[in-house]
Amino acid sequence: MSVFQKHTLSTRASSINRALDEIGDKWCLLILQEVFWGVNTFNGMLAGTGASRGVLSDRLNWLQTKDCLRKEEVENGPRRPTYHLTKKSIELYSNGLMAMVWERKYFATPTLDSVELTHKTCAKAFWPVMECGHCNQPVSSDDVSFHPGPGATKDTRITKTRRRSSSSASSEDQGKTLYRNLINLLGDRWTANVIALAFHGLNRFDDFHQELPIATNILTDRLKLLINEGVFYRLPYQQSPLRYEYHLTDKGRDLFPYFVSLLSWGDKWCSKGNGNPILLKHEPCGEHLNPEVRCNQCGDALIATEVHFKL
């Protein structure tokens, strides 16, 4: 199915890239979402994700090697093994909530539009918001600046050219997926990488290419996709030959909380031991950004076990 060409490229260390390399694949994202819903058997996930048996078993193994899933075997029983979240993967919950917020804002999805979230702590129907842990203001890309941290080194990444899976997951199964459009878009990790670089202020083809271990035709393809999806718009910066800069639209900028939650998770769980590569500063309060995903009713930080979903 996939074509691999292996090379390596040394790029700026980034917790987003590290997180994407572990769980940024479309199938991994879909599997984790199923487990968050309480679907934890092989057959259940097969139905819920639309993956083939081979792909599903490959990704389940991968997620176990990354300590993102724990397999429970049932000895001598008729029951099949089940897969469970770990300490590490349960913290991707805020990331899932931020995905849902974006999806609801930009896509009409009957399932998602009718979902009701209840916060067990305050017993109210709520909506998740990302706020600065220091000044309690909502986090947006305009208000955050990036600075090199103690771990601002280089990471060696393997060059892989893998074809985007051509069948869009939405045509196969709606299931209980609350953010399938986002997964279809970002589940190709290079597309997600390009957006992350745009948040860091990169906007030209050559700048993107220098930071990504991918072939130029793949980068061209992903930029085209991001324009078609309304995440980027382009502006000419040179006339002959004609060259464009790529900028985030409002829809693109609204992905910021999703990426910030991924970055925090990567800082905590995918660190290479020498500190965070990038430090985020919340400009309105001047403090280091500690992003918290909270209940908009009581202001408490949200954790998976305290949220009830009703479809």
- Specify the residue, 227 or 285, whose C-beta has the smaller distance to Zn ion: 285
Q: How far apart are CA 183 and CA 169, in angstroms?
A: 9
Strand spans (E) along the chain:
7-12, 69-72, 82-85, 116-119, 124-125, 128-132, 144-148, 154-159, 232-238, 243-248, 278-282, 287-288, 291-295, 307-310
Q: Does 301 bind Zn ion (CB under 5 A)?
A: no
Which range binds Zn ion by CB under 5 A, 118-126, 158-166, 168-176, 218-226?
118-126
| Of 16, 25, 26, 62, the residue nearest 212 (C-alpha) | 16
| Of 141, 189, 158, the residue nearest 25 (C-alpha) | 189
Cβ-contact 232, 248 below 8 angstroms: yes
CB of 12 to Zn ion, least distance (A): 25
State how beta strands 154-159 and 7-12 pair: antiparallel
Q: Does 122 bind Zn ion (CB under 5 A)?
A: yes
- Specify the residue, 34 or 292, whose C-beta has the smaller distance to Zn ion: 292
Which range binds Zn ion by CB under 5 A, 62-70, 72-80, 83-91, 275-283?
275-283
Instruction: Compute how many residues bind Zn ion; rule: CB under 5 A.
Output: 10
Binding mask 130-169 for Zn ion (x = CB under 5 A): --x-xx----------------------------------
Q: Does 285 bind Zn ion (CB under 5 A)?
A: yes
Q: Does 90 bind Zn ion (CB under 5 A)?
A: no
Which range binds Zn ion by CB under 5 A, 53-61, 114-122, 248-256, 269-277?
114-122
CB of 154 to Zn ion, least distance (A): 30
- Specify the residue, 22 or 292, whose C-beta has the smaller distance to Zn ion: 292
CB of 118 to Zn ion, least distance (A): 9
Query: How big is the chain by its Cα radius of gyration, in Å?
Result: 20
Q: How far apart are CA 233 and CA 229, in angstroms?
A: 10
Which range binds Zn ion by CB under 5 A, 84-92, 152-160, 178-186, 290-298?
290-298
Q: How far apart are CA 126 and CA 121, in angstroms?
A: 11
CB within 8 A of 258, min separation 6: which ones?
Answer: 95, 98, 99, 102, 182, 186
For helices 42-49 and 53-65, give the axis angle rounded to 10 degrees: 110
Residue from 275, 297, 303, 306 touching Zn ion (CB under 5 A): that is 297
CB within 8 A of 193, min separation 6: which ones?
Answer: 16, 17, 20, 211, 212
Which range binds Zn ion by CB under 5 A, 91-99, 119-127, 158-166, 224-232?
119-127
Residue from 119, 157, 180, 222 touching Zn ion (CB under 5 A): that is 119
Q: Does 294 bind Zn ion (CB under 5 A)?
A: no
| Contact set with Zn ion (CB under 5 A) | 119, 122, 132, 134-135, 282, 285, 295, 297-298
